[in-house]
């Protein structure tokens, strides 16, 4: 099958994800409805300099107001018509406009191995077990009926539960999904089949149930309590809607998505709204890997705004499990020469795939695409876009080379590969030519998927953090194995630093072979491993800290929370040579709470 390159050079001064949506619209591909959008509409995150003018735009169906940036802009979510994207972006009130990006659980290395009997944390941790603190879980699969999330009288410990996939009602948050308050959950728990009574049933071995139990389970069913067993719980089940794009000829391109970044922001805002003035810590064991990895994404700016808006707030994020998965590459492009980035794609790869290549605003690269047979298909200059099509003019790959992202000023190349690429298996070369080079350094990331394309070895294992784990005010957690004598770092736990050179992750916690609640069992447990399991351990510790502080009429800012944890890590562990993976070290809950007691 003959492949050829076409230069399109339309919609170039806009987010590459939106460029691709607009390009697909030009081909007659309709954007499908999802749990939170109508057909022909998409969810977006925007940074605006005038919130009143933004809300007055009749193209905008508003979502959440995430708060202010340090420079005074506001970050908001919304639903907008695809047909009006260009007009919205050109508005003087819009500083930055980004498309929603799909998320995946950060549990790509689930292990079910030998049983372990040790509890997650040492016994006799001081504090009130998180009493009076709200723990928010944003994930998938909430087994509200498991006894670990119920009081001795059988009633629920959940203050609220928002199923973003549920049938909407007149009081649905942001007008989508189904919200259940405590009395509704309690009523369902009295039925012979609580899941049928509530109209929600998680899958077996649900990721979110396991995560929730580590942070806040009380052990009433399993006998193994979580870290903050007296905390209140708010759970948001992110949408798991399948995104389907229908072509005029009836062909379908399918992308499975575990929620997206817009739904994630609205989930965070929802949890903090439910918590009100109560101390609150939110756990996010989800992520993605494309992006600048410098803390400037709108979702990271939103997280920073949320946790600095009030004291006694924190957001904990899993670092990711991609240390040696081949999703990151970096190098230096010489002036007047080139660097070949080698991308291995399985034959007829069944998933949509995305690569992002970020480089300095002081440089100018040109991208040349070489197919597996060595043929040069075309070039994409800075500020341009284009696509690879087959002999029937069907788009197989879309390329966008954007100059000056509005959030960090840097240049970015985005490559979007359609599923089932005909004759596409093999090693593609993304040749970066140095047109104007002052720095020359670049970093590239492949978005994670269940069937992974990779860069060819040698793999660059640093800079492999979850994209949303690179912010300034989030608490980012890697994993180690607390069951081994030498307490080694988990082989999968992602590595920092951030692309702008800051230390992340912040801490490590037990994330290997962790036993916690198994959904649909009532009392059972299951063993899982991943930074998904390490993050909720730290979420629970922060809940203990906040409860102790409130008992002493203290308020903790996010910086104070971070500094107390950093000053309380275990000494002489792990080895200094691995600092880019463990940050300040292993969390010591006893020491952290003791510091609050001494203040």
Q: Distance between CA 414 and CA 385 in Å, rounded? A: 9
pLDDT of residue 350 exceeding 70, the answer is no
> For the residues 434-455, what does the mean pLDDT come to?
90
Peptide bond into 378 cis (omega under 30): no
| pLDDT digit string, tens, across residues 19-78 | 999 988 888 888 888 888 999 999 999 999 999 999 999 999 999 999 999 999 999 999
Q: Distance between CA 254 and CA 240 in Å, rounded? A: 13
Q: Distance between CA 27 and CA 360 in Å, rounded? A: 33
Any idea of the CA torsion for 22, 24, 27, 31, to the nearest 10 degrees?
-90
Q: Which residues pair with 62 in a beta bridge?
A: 78
Peptide bond into 497 cis (omega under 30): yes
Q: Distance between CA 201 and CA 185 in Å, rounded? A: 12
Q: Would you call 2 helix, strand, or coil by DSSP? A: coil
| pLDDT digit string, tens, across residues 555-568 | 999 999 999 999 99
What's the confidence (pLDDT) of residue 520?
A: 97
Q: Distance between CA 42 and CA 396 in Å, rounded? A: 22
What's the confidence (pLDDT) of residue 203?
A: 94
Residue with the bigger pLDDT between 586 and 135: it is: 135
What's the confidence (pLDDT) of residue 455?
A: 95
Rg over alpha carbons for the chain, rounded to the nearest Å, is: 24
> For the residues 576-597, what does the mean pLDDT come to?
86
Q: Distance between CA 106 and CA 529 in Å, rounded? A: 10
Range of lowest pLDDT (21-25, 75-79, 130-134, 229-233): 21-25
Find where tokens 């109560």 sit: 278
In which element (H, E) is residue 563 found?
helix 558-566
pLDDT of residue 220 exceeding 50, the answer is yes
Q: Distance between CA 536 and CA 241 in Å, rounded? A: 25
15 within 8 A of 60, measured Cβ to Cβ = no
pLDDT of residue 395 exceeding 60, the answer is yes
> For the residues 97-104, what does the mean pLDDT come to?
87
State the chain's mean pLDDT as an integer: 89
pLDDT of residue 573 exceeding 80, the answer is no
> For the residues 110-115, what does the mean pLDDT come to?
23
Q: Model pTM?
A: 0.92
Q: Which of 8-22, 46-60, 436-450 has the highest mean pLDDT?
A: 46-60
Token representation of residue 207: 């990721």
First vs last C-alpha separation in the chain: 71
Find where tokens 């089932």 sit: 420
231 within 8 A of 216, measured Cβ to Cβ = yes
366 within 8 A of 435, measured Cβ to Cβ = yes
Domains of the chain (ranges plus CATH)?
Answer: 31-99 (3.30.70), 134-243+253-321+467-598 (3.40.50.200), 325-455 (2.60.120.1290)
- Residues sharing a CB contact under 8 Å with residue 324, sequence separation 6 or more, in sequence order: 459, 461, 491, 492
> What's the gap between Cα 152 and its chain centre?
35
What's the confidence (pLDDT) of residue 248?
A: 29
pLDDT of residue 108 exceeding 50, the answer is no
> For the residues 251-257, what does the mean pLDDT come to?
33
> What's the gap between Cα 32 and its chain centre?
22
Burial pattern 137-147, b for ≥16 Cβ within 10 A else e, equals bbbbbbbbbbb
Range of lowest pLDDT (289-303, 481-495, 541-555, 560-574): 560-574
What's the confidence (pLDDT) of residue 253?
A: 28
Q: Of all residues in the chain, what percent carry a pLDDT higher than 90? A: 72
Closest listed residue to residue 593, CA positions, set 211, 307, 228: 228
Q: Label the pairing between strands 158-163 and 232-237.
A: parallel
pLDDT of residue 127 exceeding 80, the answer is no
> What's the gap between Cα 218 and its chain centre?
27
| pLDDT digit string, tens, across residues 255-284 | 344 468 999 999 999 999 999 999 999 999
Any idea of the CA torsion for 405, 409, 411, 414, to the nearest 10 degrees?
-30
Q: Distance between CA 274 and CA 421 in Å, rounded? A: 45
């Amino acid at each position: 099958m003959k492949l050829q390159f076409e230069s399109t050079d339309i919609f170039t001064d806009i987010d590459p994800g939106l460029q691709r949506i607009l390009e697909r619209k030009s081909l007659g591909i309709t954007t499908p409805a999802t749990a939170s959008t109508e057909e022909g509409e998409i969810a977006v995150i925007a940074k605006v300099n005038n919130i009143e003018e933004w809300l007055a735009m009749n193209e905008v169906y508003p979502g959440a107001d995430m708060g202010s940036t340090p420079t005074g802009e506001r970050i908001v979510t919304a639903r907008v018509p695809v047909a009006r994207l260009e007009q919205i972006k050109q508005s003087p009130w819009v500083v930055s406009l980004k498309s929603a990006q799909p998320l995946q659980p950060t549990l790509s290395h689930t292990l079910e191995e030998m049983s372990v009997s040790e509890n997650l944390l040492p016994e006799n941790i001081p504090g009130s077990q998180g009493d009076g603190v709200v723990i928010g879980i944003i994930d998938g699969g909430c087994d509200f009926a498991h006894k670990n999330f119920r009081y001795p009288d059988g009633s629920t410990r959940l203050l609220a539960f928002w199923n973003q996939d549920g049938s909407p009602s007149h009081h649905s948050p942001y007008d989508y999904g189904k919200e259940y308050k405590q009395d509704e959950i309690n009523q369902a728990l009295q039925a012979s089949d609580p899941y049928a009574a509530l109209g929600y049933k998680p899958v077996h071995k649900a990721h979110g149930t396991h995560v929730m139990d580590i942070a806040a389970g009380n052990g009433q069913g399993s006998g193994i309590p979580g870290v903050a067993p007296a905390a209140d719980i708010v759970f948001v089940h992110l949408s798991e809607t399948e995104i389907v794009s229908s072509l005029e000829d009836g062909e379908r391109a399918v992308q499975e998505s575990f929620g997206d970044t817009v739904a994630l922001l609205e989930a965070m805002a929802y949890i903090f709204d439910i918590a009100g003035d109560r101390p609150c810590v939110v756990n996010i064991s989800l992520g993605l890997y494309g992006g600048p990895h410098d803390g400037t994404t709108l979702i990271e700016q939103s997280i920073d705004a949320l946790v600095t808006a009030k004291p006694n707030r924190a957001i904990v994020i899993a670092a990711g499990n991609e240390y040696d998965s081949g999703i990151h590459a970096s190098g230096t492009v010489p002036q007047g020469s080139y660097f070949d980035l080698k991308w291995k794609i399985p034959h007829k790869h069944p998933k949509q795939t995305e690569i992002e290549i970020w480089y300095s605003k002081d440089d100018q690269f040109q991208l040349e695409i070489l197919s597996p047979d060595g043929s040069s298909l075309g070039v994409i200059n800075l500020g341009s876009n284009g696509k690879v099509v087959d002999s029937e003019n069907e788009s197989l790959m879309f390329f966008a080379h954007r100059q000056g992202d509005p959030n960090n000023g840097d240049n970015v190349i985005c490559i979007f590969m359609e599923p089932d690429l005909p004759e596409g298996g093999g090693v593609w070369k993304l040749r970066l030519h140095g047109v104007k080079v002052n720095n020359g350094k670049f970093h590239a990331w492949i978005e994670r998927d269940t069937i992974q394309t990779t860069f060819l070895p040698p793999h660059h294992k640093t800079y492999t953090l979850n994209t949303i784990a690179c912010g300034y005010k989030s608490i980012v957690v890697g994993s180690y194995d607390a069951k081994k004598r030498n307490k080694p770092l988990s082989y999968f736990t992602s590595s920092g630093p951030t692309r702008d050179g800051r230390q992340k992750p912040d801490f490590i916690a037990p994330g290997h072979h962790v036993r916690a609640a198994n959904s649909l069992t009532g009392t059972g447990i299951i063993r899982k491993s991943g930074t998904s399991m390490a993050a909720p351990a730290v979420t629970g510790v922060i809940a203990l800290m906040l409860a102790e502080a409130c008992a002493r009429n203290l308020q903790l800012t996010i910086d104070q929370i971070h500094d107390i944890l950093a000053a309380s890590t275990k000494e002489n562990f792990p080895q200094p040579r691995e600092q880019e993976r463990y940050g300040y070290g292993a969390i010591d809950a006893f020491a952290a709470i003791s510091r609050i007691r001494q203040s």
